[in-house]
Structure 1
């Protein structure tokens, strides 16, 4: 799922604090205004959006690819120029995992009129044609009618309009919501609302990793088996403390810029959490060293070990491996615990765990009464605030002021509200107007004794509302999210839909996109941490190395060699190819570090295969060991530099790696989609290419790290560097936040 906020910086943006991996969202969070808090308005009614105000009248952009459901374009502002009624409502359908479709809507309200845009010199700048003329009859001071969308498509980052104002204040009213059927279809596959979640058995994993550690488990100063130098299989561990945890723990871990970060909370009997870490605890370069750690600590199958270190569980199989992680288990105390134990539950952001403050708010636990107004004491019970409300607040004005002051003055409460997922009516649906606003006529109400004023208000409100043109069901409750929390959360998921991957690799055929999509997304999670810059470079290099995913993914085979030449028994390509791989390329020359035997056919047998064209018997052997297809002790390390390897007859005491199935990492037939992509991801982390990508801003349009990546992939092929960068730029334009 590729998603971004409605405002984007127009130049490079990098965070100095590496523990904060999303500086774009950190910047946009600062635009949220106190008078538009989600989900409670200043008058105690539902307010299922947020008010955002950038410094200038900034461009409002689509947060994801979508379809226009309804819109209003005004020539003039209303209310003597103090209000903007322009809006765009989009429908989005995307993917967050294999077979996981998410359908949601986004609303952008109070967009600037065309006349105001013209005065500011942004007349028509970047807008689609349907947004360049009024959507209906337009008279100064009146509300222009809204119209139903007619199938118009927009792409993420397209400009939908510019920030206008309402009631004299400049801001955007912004919402994200789901229809009940779409909500149930998606969240029925998560653990939202489950207070006792179990470790999932699916591969639907993204975002941060969470461990639920029950009370009374053993923590160690060092992993058992560590030697006198505090090393376990050559990996050094810092000595910590030995003890048991008195309370259950919630552990959050994530990677950012190569480092690992950990937050920990203890959990009291009533479910309340107390932070044991003031700031995320860093382990520098931990992610960059994952491959090294996996090889050392999981010798039987380093690939499984890599997944344990990355995900907390092995997604590609049902097995498990002992995995020691560093955790703060009490105030000022840290130790190592094996998180592979079954009693420790492993989840991710894909599960929407309730202990990370996601809360479904519906009729059974809502702080809103039957009159549609929020009760402050009911709200305090939900957020576990024992403090009672002000007993002197009796009038509606006093109650509204008390609630508004409570929410605005407590950061902790506003953070809790960001996790509310609310089943509520839309304020843009006029079927609920009489109920929603009836109390305005009561004693102390705004329209007390002023029936004509109340009716004029309802008439104006109905003109602003637009639900009747959307084609969506009227009179029903929807599921609303704090829109910035929704975007921030789903930005952790980099799973690309077929449409997104096709745009990122535009020369790839639809058939090959469909064929490799799941594998590319899985290795993006496993090796690239769903980093958009990293993925852009990986796709750019893969596009070049595989001729855009064509053919069997084998050197000199993507365009001319059919998959039939990549069978288990046949990998020979004829005398011309033999000449190339032996004489021209040096693939079988004496003392070649590729580990190929001279004049033996090794050059052809172990030619470049997979997403990044891994080459040579030595590299094949490393990957075969990584996947547990070959035992490390079955051959001599660096056999090709040992005296006598090249002699005729060869020194029988020297054992090269014996690999009879090199086609395992080619795409020789359907059904072998994963291995050629995975071997590319393996090569990527073997050479720590993520560290090269991580110096690049996700805002810049140019893939500035491209030459560094290309040099690692193939330093001898410098004439192709420009094409590789072009491919990476295409992917970055689609996946990253560059505008």
Structure 2
């Protein structure tokens, strides 16, 4: 899922993603979610806006589509004369333009979801792309902010039906079931642990690879359930403990201060990146779980093994010792214990505020939820409302007006009965804004706070088929010779049964496991992987070469590349005996060390002596008596989709690509005069160069002008598309002003 707020402005320096999203959606507290000031359900928020130049908005600002979608229905805004008169003007001028979008995407394996976004009270003209059944793309300008009751604002809401509620959140019950582990079909964001009462905390652990507690010093046994959240971000790992508030059951208090990199070990700082727990996960996994570091990496990442069909933890009771706060102190807990249940943000944990509200069973618009009433009476609704997901009728269906609003004609504890005249005026106003809700029907739907929904799902970077396709550029820039650039169309095949279609789930799973989970990390990973695989067309290098007579151009011979059969395979083209055997070790595979050493020494000898690469080469399988299992492991890196992507994840983690990808991406506009197609543009950045060089040419990481990185211009074409599709960054124009919303040279692949 790729999603963004309906307004897109530059980030402030140092502004985190959640704060930026919230700043993009400033809400009217009188028209907030899920209840408005009259005590009726309110399915969205009113997003405030100003066109006042004194406040920095000296131009028209457009409302944007929050995600790729399809136009379900729309209404062109009425003119100002109608806007200013009754029935639209009942408490102030009100615009009636709206757009309803349907979004279909994926959040996990076999987890296709549908949700809707509604933009109401738009003014002037809608985008020409807005037509029934029309396609819109994320960040597209769709309309302009209008007025609501004389306020400069528009109504914005996000909702779904029962079927998709279960897919999006995994449940419809108020709280998460903590008697079993959470979902595995979708795992993203923070990792969470439920520690039941009776959990034991220890002072220290001499051997972090052992689950034995007989000789450990017990410092605390919990008397209540504790809830621990593990956050990975830019190399850091933070551990936060919560416990339930004894007065307000829906509120959970933090215990102590967050523990940041508390378990980072200097021994694992092989790359000298500092005590950054996340950046050193690969080395920690090798140290603690030497019999299968890949499974150990998964344990460190998720607190459990997710891909059980591919990974086996050795030993099966291998521990995960982490320092955790408890009331009054902290201690080490084995989070891998079966008594401790594991979850992720995909489970919408109630201890982080998420709660499903479904205790108002009627179909009118009055909020009769006992849970909501309790929060109002205790004064806690405003603190907790953003993560409530509430089940009530859609408020825009003309056919259900009487059903939804007739309660206003009766006295109740909060409001006096509305007079017949006022009721008819309200009815005229509401009907003027209603629209045909079609297949959404007349029943209840699930409503999310838009800020919370967008913030939450921006942490889910699982790519749908359509989203992955957009990252593949339409053209590549190939360097055929010195100053000889060719602009060539890319043929991308992702039909059913194609490699691109079959491998997508495995790409997503590898990115999920190896923490390639931010837009910029994805851009660096896919910018390289998509190009290296011939635009997801093959998982092995073209190792067969043809020699021609320079005079007649006749074929003289065909031959293999000198490092055959250890040529590039997989999504990031695992190459050379050293890298293959490092990967085999990471996967817990055992092999004769003498075979590895012989092959590595021979490769290094040939690498250092170019003249003998084809005349004195001893890398062949038969000459080295390579066992069949090693040959199979090697060949599977290209023939098995899991191995192809797992090896790429190994490359990413072992070469610390994340460290470079996390740096600021300052885009450089590069102009090239091609042989037949005129001037073409591509984009690069220091961060992308360094992330690419970390795997391909580590000795050249700081030499940005180095020309020997194979196909770097082509990689940059994919990188530019990835930046456009995955982020909100703007591209520099010819004067280096950040004004372009898409790459130049018509690179984005749509449709």
TM-score range, shorter chain: 0.7 to 0.9
What corresponds to 2:716 in structure 1?
A: 725
Q: Do structure 1's residue 174 and structure 2's residue 193 form an aligned pair? A: no
CA distance in structure 1 between the aligned counterparts of 2:255 and 2:11, rounded to whole angstroms: 31
Q: Deviations over 1:614-665 (max 9, x none)?
A: 22111111100001122597778799579x999x999xxxxx9966534535
Q: Do structure 1's residue 105 and structure 2's residue 116 form an aligned pair? A: yes
Is this contact kept in 2: 1:44–1:374, CA < 8 A? yes
Q: Do structure 1's residue 76 and structure 2's residue 43 form an aligned pair? A: no
Is this contact kept in 2: 1:541–1:612, CA < 8 A? yes
Is this contact kept in 1: 2:121–2:146, CA < 8 A? yes
Question: Tell me, what secondary structure is at the counterpart of 2:438?
Answer: coil
**Match of residue 291, structure 1, among 274, 282, 287:** 282
Quote the offset at 1:711 in angstroms. Answer: 2.2
Quote the offset at 1:542 in angstroms. Answer: 1.1
Q: Deviations over 1:370-423 (max 9, x none)?
A: 874346975353x4x885xxxxxxxxxxxxxxxxxx5xxxxx532322222211
**Match of residue 338, structure 1, among 334, 337, 350:** 334
Quote the offset at 1:450 in angstroms. Answer: 5.0
Change (3 A) 1:664 1:168: same
Question: Tell me, what secondary structure is at the counterpart of 1:428?
Answer: coil
Is this contact kept in 1: 2:193–2:340, CA < 8 A? yes
RMSD (Å) for aligned C-alpha atoms: 3.6
Change (3 A) 1:657 1:328: farther
Q: Deviations over 1:345-368 (max 9, x none)?
A: 001112223333322222xx23x9
Change (3 A) 1:290 1:151: same
Change (3 A) 1:694 1:22: farther
What corresponds to 1:423 in structure 2?
A: 391
The 5 Å alignment of 1:40-439 reads 40-56=35-51, 58-77=61-80, 78-79=83-84, 82-114=93-125, 128-131=127-130, 150-184=132-166, 187=169, 193-200=175-182, 202-225=184-207, 242-267=219-244, 274-277=252-255, 280-283=258-261, 285-317=276-308, 319=313, 320=316, 322-362=318-358, 365-366=359-360, 372-374=365-367, 379-381=372-374, 383=375, 387=378, 406=379, 412-439=380-407
Is this contact kept in 2: 1:178–1:480, CA < 8 A? yes
What corresponds to 2:586 in structure 1?
A: 626
Change (3 A) 1:203 1:662: farther
The 5 Å alignment of 1:564-583 reads 576-578=558-560, 580-581=561-562
What corresponds to 2:515 in structure 1?
A: 528
CA distance in structure 2 between the aligned counterparts of 1:676 and 1:553, rounded to whole angstroms: 9
- Gaps in structure 1 of 5+ consecutive residues: 115-126, 132-148, 227-231, 234-238, 388-405, 407-411, 561-573, 582-602, 651-655
Is this contact kept in 2: 1:49–1:482, CA < 8 A? yes
Q: Deviations over 1:567-587 (max 9, x none)?
A: xxxxxxx97434x41xxxxxx
CA distance in structure 2 between the aligned counterparts of 1:605 and 1:649, rounded to whole angstroms: 11
Higher relative contact order (CA 8 A, sep 6+): 1
- Gaps in structure 2 of 5+ consecutive residues: 52-59, 211-215, 262-274, 474-489, 547-555, 607-615, 619-623, 670-682, 698-706, 730-740, 742-751
CA distance in structure 1 between the aligned counterparts of 2:635 and 2:133, rounded to whole angstroms: 41
Quote the offset at 1:256 in angstroms. Answer: 0.8
Q: Deviations over 1:317-340 (max 9, x none)?
A: 164553334343323411111111
What corresponds to 2:734 in structure 1?
A: none
Quote the offset at 1:179 in angstroms. Answer: 2.1
Is this contact kept in 1: 2:656–2:694, CA < 8 A? no
What corresponds to 1:390 in structure 2?
A: none
Quote the offset at 1:213 in angstroms. Answer: 0.8
CA distance in structure 2 between the aligned counterparts of 1:645 and 1:706, rounded to whole angstroms: 31
Question: Tell me, what secondary structure is at the counterpart of 2:564?
Answer: helix
Is this contact kept in 1: 2:78–2:97, CA < 8 A? no
Quote the offset at 1:22 in angstroms. Answer: 3.9
Quote the offset at 1:448 in angstroms. Answer: 6.4
Change (3 A) 1:158 1:694: same
CA distance in structure 2 between the aligned counterparts of 1:421 and 1:373, rounded to whole angstroms: 16
Aligned residue-pair number: 621
More displaced 10-residue stretch of structure 1: 503-512 or 443-452: 443-452
Quote the offset at 1:70 in angstroms. Answer: 0.7
Quote the offset at 1:96 in angstroms. Answer: 0.8
**Match of residue 474, structure 1, among 425, 433, 441:** 441
Quote the offset at 1:33 in angstroms. Answer: 2.0
Q: Do structure 1's residue 616 and structure 2's residue 584 form an aligned pair? A: no
The 5 Å alignment of 1:6-21 reads 6-9=6-9, 11=10, 15=14, 20=16
Is this contact kept in 1: 2:540–2:638, CA < 8 A? no
